[in-house]
Amino acid sequence: MTRRSFGNTHYDKLRGKSPSVSTTLLRVGHDTIMSELKSCSYCRKELPISLFCKDRGKKDGLHCWCKECKNLNLREWRKNNPDRKRAIAHKYLSKTKETVLKVYGNGVLACVVCGESRIDCLSIDHIEGNGAEHRKEIGNGSATLYRWLKLNNFPSGFQTLCMNCQFIKEAEVRKGGICHEKRVV
């Protein structure tokens, strides 16, 4: 295998490449393959750009550390800062929960039946009553459900209810009556 580097040359400028990404021609047998390499500023290895995370804030659009170094550093930070990690995760979950509840509350952070607006009282209801099966598919926990709804572009079949309305709906279903959510406009 023969390497011929064109890094940081007029060739890269013509192709619109940043100076931190070098273009290398790899000769494998009779074939010549063009490979773009970047140097990791943490481990100092020159690696293919596919081993770097995207970073819109950088000129070349790639993080300065390779994925392996970045993950190693992130694991170490999480181990050394458990309280900050927990606070960041809680903030993200709260924001995601609020977004999801607003979407399924018809743009309002409130129960669609009674209007209860305290966020700690609100939850997502499976309109068809298939919540148990759905949680088995995606995993238990409200955080998992909120993430799933957001990642799947807020599919239909869900609504925001307070816990009292959830319990009333469940009692009506068990009695064989009509669920109150079917009367909601």
pLDDT digits (tens, 9 = 90+) for 16-75: 555 566 665 555 455 555 568 999 999 999 999 999 999 999 888 999 999 999 999 999
Is there a single domain that holds both residue 59 and residue 128? no
- In this structure, how many other beta carbons lie within 10 angstroms of the beta carbon of residue 106? 12
pTM of the model: 0.62
Is there a single domain that holds both residue 66 and residue 101? no
Residues of the domain holding 102: 96-183
Q: Cβ distance 96 to 150 under 8 Å? A: yes
Is there a single domain that holds both residue 37 and residue 100? no
> Which of 10-14, 21-25, 50-54, 125-129 is least confident?
10-14
The one-letter amino acid code at 151 reads L
Distance CA 65, CA 181 (A): 51
The one-letter amino acid code at 110 reads A
For residue 101, the Cα-to-chain-centroid distance in whole angstroms is 18
Length of the chain: 185
Token pair in block for residue 11: 């060739």
- What confidence score (pLDDT) does residue 69 get? 94
